[in-house]
Amino acid sequence: MELHNRDVRTDVRELGALVGDVLAAQASTEAYETVEALRNTAIAYRRGDAPDRDALHEAVDGLSTTREEVVARAFTTYFELINLAEERERVRAVRNADDETALHDSFDATIAEFAEAGVDAAELEELLADVLIEPTFTAHPTEARRSTVKSKLRSIANHLEELDERNLTERERRAVWRDVTAEVTSLWGTRQVRQRAPEPEDEARNVQWYLENTLFDVVGDAYEEFEETISKEYDDVDCPKLFEFRSWAGSDRDGNPFVTPEVTDETLERQRAVAVEKYRDRCKQLSAVLSQGGDRYADSDELAESLAADAERFPTVVEEARERYPDEPYRQKLRLMRERLDRVNDVRPGEYPDGDAFLADLDIIADSLRADGQESVLESFIEPFRRQVDTFGLTLASLDLRDHRENHTEAVAEAVAVEGVDYRGMDESERQEFLTEAILQEDPVVDLDEPGDVSETTERVLRRFASFADWQDEYGQQAIDTYCISMTEEPSHVLEVLFLADQVSVVSLPDHCAVDVVPLLETESALNGADRILGTLFENDAYAAALEARGEVQEVMLGYSDSNKENGFLAANWDLYENQRRIARFCREEEVTLRLFHGRGGSISRGGGPMNEALLALPNETVTGQVKFTEQGEAIAEKYADPRIAERELEQMLDAQIRARKEANEEPVEDVPDRWAEAMETMAPAARETYRDLLNTDGFVSYFEQATPISVVEDLNLGSRPASRSGERSVEDLRAIPWVFSWTQTRLILPGWYAIASGIDAYLDEVGEEDGMETLREMFDEWPFFRTTLDNASLALARTEPEIATEYADLADEDLRERFFPELVSEYERGCELVLDISGRDQLLRREWLEESLGRRNPYVDPLNLLQVDLLGRTHRTEEEERTLRLTVNGIAAGMKNTG
């Protein structure tokens, strides 16, 4: 049976033609001809029909200022639509493979494999019980696209789905295509570039959109599929809770002064309101279904008792329900459940205190239906609803708080100074001793509500902690129960947060601790000092009591972005791998359950890449079953905008995690041969030295400023957070996102591969070419960590275009260009050669669809790059030229499908 009416080539061809039609109609025929000439000239060179890009240069150089803007808009619009075409092709691939039971990385195949291997029901239940996957949405980087643009693109995507999956008459098809044409015409006239930076509230609403409009409905379908898959091979194995969703949007204060307590409170309130409204709607829908009369089915004792309790709580409402639904107990119960939901945001008593209480009422209905033999009703209507409530509670997504450790130190020092304590004058051990005693004593040390005359930074920190207790009282502990500390370097940095939480009774030891305090280890010194930091904390009386109150679970966050920016791609990956193993071994010795929180970005250099491969490549020692990771920027839309793709993402995450957990149970300590580790111990330091030499070479920062669009990226209004920590221009001070974004724009994706060749060559020089290559090929074939690392570098190398990068290098002063660019190209070329040699492949890309995608995109990105270079090279730009320059950044980001 054919599931689809179209294919990706049809979508690309028709959408591309539509862009041309709209361009001609909305601009002019001459503008259309200009864009077509640029497109065909770029394609001619890529196909080998032209010896160089001289003709493309001449065409770009000859554009008028007005025509430049039209060209940038045309190619940007094209990429936005082609991205939709490729998203639709992903859906086709998933549906077709599912229909043919040929999905790779599928939960179905894994369960069948487990059964064949002799995994019994008890072992499978234990594996599933261990798993908890927590995707955590962050606001940075915000997507380059405006919300208005995203909304229009979603509408077009829905029309493409209709054309592809429905059997339409010719008249109906024309009507749908007319609507697509209207949306593209509207898109053409819509500003692509933000005129103002998004506010934290905008970012929180953006994250909320995916939770509310996609994931909320997908979760029920996903669990239904999981349960059906399990039942094919196993009887009586229940599928437990496997996913929770969390968010930093509206609560991440690190480097963002605009995330105030008011923003966080508004985010919590809005998310709860969405969850309540969703559940209220579901209850109304259920009421239409559960019309069974009490004379035909015997409602359970528990349901009768629950209705009796409701009668005492809401006598008037119960009387109204009985009159409206006489002898219909399910409808009566659902009416009372809606009443309790209505009171969640109301001053009247009787509301549901949390999601668990609402779930308990839903379970009463489920048990009664089961007792009456109405399993089909239960499975179709109640179970998906139960999964939604179990996953989203009344919070939609739990929030994590985060701030930089320096701000906590400053706040503690100022607050206790009022009480005569010289915290600044203490050394590390003295600070630990003071904080421990202060936490364990019953009386508070400081009054956070009235701290006295303190700095703005301290006032902000103390206000946040004072609000922390109020948020938990109002929205429940689960709504906001994690505090992450950026740039943690010492045990006192963790104890400072515990102390501040204690002062507002979020913590009251030994019995009460309503927060997980999470050190974020992102520098080389912090990662290498993880044993020391955690060991000191675990032995600390106050922290040990807090850990016990939290069930002996320690969450540790690993920073991929800053690790990479500090050490380079290869060294950072090895440092993270080794230190994860070290942390895991230490926690196991201390009988503490480790939950790793992977701070991954969208790009390869920031920990990006396929999540299922990343999970399978983690060291066995770290796979406790619980895992948490960030989802950012365009990656959120790519994974969670379409329901079918979102469901497939959840399945792949679960599949990878349960397989990894099974392997970890069978081999708790990963067997890494000494020669592999020794190879990495040679390669990583050599790569780090090469990378740091580049960054520390006099003039490199100037070269980076001149040969990339960093100055434009910083002013793009991509997010509410400033682009740098202090406003100074240095690689160290610059945030990882604009660092990566700027290189990506130039098509020289240096953060994803630079120094990997130097590292490998250092190893080959030490052990010899023949023996070294044999070991490296063995590592690639048999070691998931090394294979994934090399595959990710290969992807970054494949997306690098040295010829285009040359255009940007030519913008730099000649001496800077000659000093840096040849070295970058040399490292790139040797990297390509080595990766191909080790992998045994004849090309860098291992996925055919990705090769096709890049082949489709490159000729269209090239004119945007050349136009951007031309604009960057102008000493004085008009306001119109500045707008066009910013538009080229959006267009290249859409073409590369990545910001930072």
3-class secondary structure per residue, 570-617: HHHHHHHHHHHHHHHHHHHHCCCEEEEEEECCCCHHHCCCCHHHHHHC
Give the pLDDT of residue 658. Answer: 96
- Report how far apart, in Å, the C-alpha atoms of 587 and of each of 89, 213, 593, 620, 625 are: 44, 39, 7, 14, 14
pLDDT band at 604 (very low <50, low <70, confident <90, very high): low
Listed residue (302, 303, 337) closest to 318, CA to CA: 337
Contact 88, 11 (CB under 8 A): yes
- Whether residue 510 is preceded by a cis peptide bond, meaning omega within 30 degrees of 0, is yes
Q: What is the mean pLDDT of residues 746-758?
A: 94
3-state helix, strand, coil in the chain (%, to 5): 65, 5, 25
Give the pLDDT of residue 689. Answer: 96
- In percent, how much of the chain has pLDDT > 90? 71
pLDDT band at 754 (very low <50, low <70, confident <90, very high): very high
User: CA-CA distance, 408 to 477, in Å (whole number)?
Assistant: 22
Return the DSSP state at 197: P
What are the contacts of 12-15 at 24+ separation with CB within 8 A?
Answer: 12/82, 12/85, 12/856, 15/78, 15/81, 15/82, 15/84, 15/85, 15/184
User: CA-CA distance, 191 to 187, in Å (whole number)?
Assistant: 8
Give the pLDDT of residue 457. Answer: 93
Element housing 40 (H / E): helix 29-47
The pLDDT of residue 721 is above 60: no
Q: Which residue has the higher pLDDT, 624 or 100?
A: 624
Alpha helices (runs of H) in 428-555, residue ranges in sequence order: 428-440, 456-475, 491-503, 524-528, 530-539, 541-549
Give the pLDDT of residue 900. Answer: 47
User: CA-CA distance, 78 to 50, in Å (whole number)?
Assistant: 24
Contact 275, 284 (CB under 8 A): no
The helix/strand/coil state of 520 is: strand
What are the contacts of 670-676 at 24+ separation with CB within 8 A?
Answer: 670/581, 670/619, 670/620, 670/621, 672/783, 675/775, 676/775, 676/778, 676/779, 676/783, 676/786
The amino acid present at 7, given as its one-letter code, is D
Give the pLDDT of residue 193. Answer: 66
Mean of the per-residue pLDDT values for the chain? 90
User: CA-CA distance, 130 to 114, in Å (whole number)?
Assistant: 16
Listed residue (651, 268, 300, 323) closest to 478, CA to CA: 268
Q: What is the pLDDT of residues 39-85, one digit of tens each?
A: 999 999 998 899 999 999 999 999 999 999 999 999 999 988 988 99
Give the CB-side neighbour count of residue 16, counting CA atoms within 13 A: 14
Give the pLDDT of residue 614. Answer: 84
- Report how far apart, in Å, the C-alpha atoms of 776 and of each of 175, 675, 677, 762 are: 58, 10, 11, 13
Instruction: Please list, in sequence order, all residues whose beta carbon lies within 8 angstroms of the beta carbon of residue 157, skipping any fewer than 6 positions away.
Output: 84, 87, 88, 641, 642
Centre a 10 Å sphere on the Cβ of residue 651 and count the other Cβ atoms it contains. 23
- Report how far apart, in Å, the C-alpha atoms of 831 and of each of 575, 610, 626, 788, 828 are: 20, 21, 35, 16, 5
**pTM, rounded to two decimals:** 0.90
- Report how far apart, in Å, the C-alpha atoms of 868 and of each of 69, 155, 564, 586, 881 are: 11, 30, 27, 51, 10
Q: Which residue has the higher pLDDT, 385 or 103?
A: 385
- Helices 329-342 + 315-324 axis angle, to 10: 140
Q: What is the pLDDT of residues 657-700, one digit of tens each?
A: 999 999 999 999 989 999 999 999 999 999 999 999 999 999 99
Contact 68, 871 (CB under 8 A): yes
Give the pLDDT of residue 3. Answer: 85
Look at the block and give the residue holding tokens 């490159």.
858
Q: Which residue has the higher pLDDT, 202 or 13?
A: 13
Sign of CA dihedral 738, 739, 744, 746: positive
Contact 478, 397 (CB under 8 A): no
User: How many residues are there in the chain?
Assistant: 900
Q: What is the mean pLDDT of residues 606-613?
A: 66
Centre a 10 Å sphere on the Cβ of residue 642 and count the other Cβ atoms it contains. 24
Give the pLDDT of residue 546. Answer: 97
Q: What is the mean pLDDT of residues 792-805?
A: 93
Q: What is the pLDDT of residues 146-198, one digit of tens each?
A: 677 778 888 999 999 999 999 999 999 999 999 999 999 999 988 766 666 67
Element housing 692 (H / E): helix 674-696
Please report the DSSP string for 618-644 in residue order. Answer: S-GGG-SSEEEEEE-HHHHHHHHSSHH
Kind of pairing, strands 516-521 and 132-137? unpaired
Q: Which residue has the higher pLDDT, 472 or 641?
A: 472
- Token output for 66: 């007005």
Q: What is the pLDDT of residues 487-538, one digit of tens each?
A: 999 999 999 999 999 999 999 999 999 999 999 998 888 988 999 999 999 9
Look at the block and give the residue holding tokens 């060179």.
45
- Helices 756-767 + 569-589 axis angle, to 10: 80
User: CA-CA distance, 577 to 676, in Å (whole number)?
Assistant: 13
- Report how far apart, in Å, the C-alpha atoms of 401 and of each of 247, 479, 517 are: 9, 11, 10
- Token output for 351: 């509301």
User: CA-CA distance, 737 to 173, in Å (whole number)?
Assistant: 43
What are the contacts of 868-875 at 24+ separation with CB within 8 A?
Answer: 868/709, 868/745, 868/892, 869/807, 869/808, 869/810, 869/811, 870/60, 870/61, 871/68, 872/709, 872/712, 872/808, 872/811, 873/811
Contact 396, 274 (CB under 8 A): yes
User: CA-CA distance, 313 to 348, in Å (whole number)?
Assistant: 11
Which residues are designated catalytic? 140, 565
The pLDDT of residue 606 is above 70: no
The helix/strand/coil state of 133 is: strand
Contact 229, 108 (CB under 8 A): yes
Listed residue (448, 461, 548, 560) closest to 502, CA to CA: 448
- Token output for 342: 């209505």
Q: What is the pLDDT of residues 812-856, one digit of tens each?
A: 999 999 999 999 999 999 999 999 999 999 888 767 767 777 778
Return the DSSP state at 378: I
User: CA-CA distance, 429 to 245, in Å (whole number)?
Assistant: 37
The pLDDT of residue 701 is above 50: yes
- Token output for 152: 């229009």
629 bridge partner residues: 135, 598
Give the pLDDT of residue 619. Answer: 93
The helix/strand/coil state of 852 is: helix
Q: Cα Rg for the chain, rounded, in angstroms?
A: 29
Contact 618, 566 (CB under 8 A): no
User: CA-CA distance, 745 to 868, in Å (whole number)?
Assistant: 9
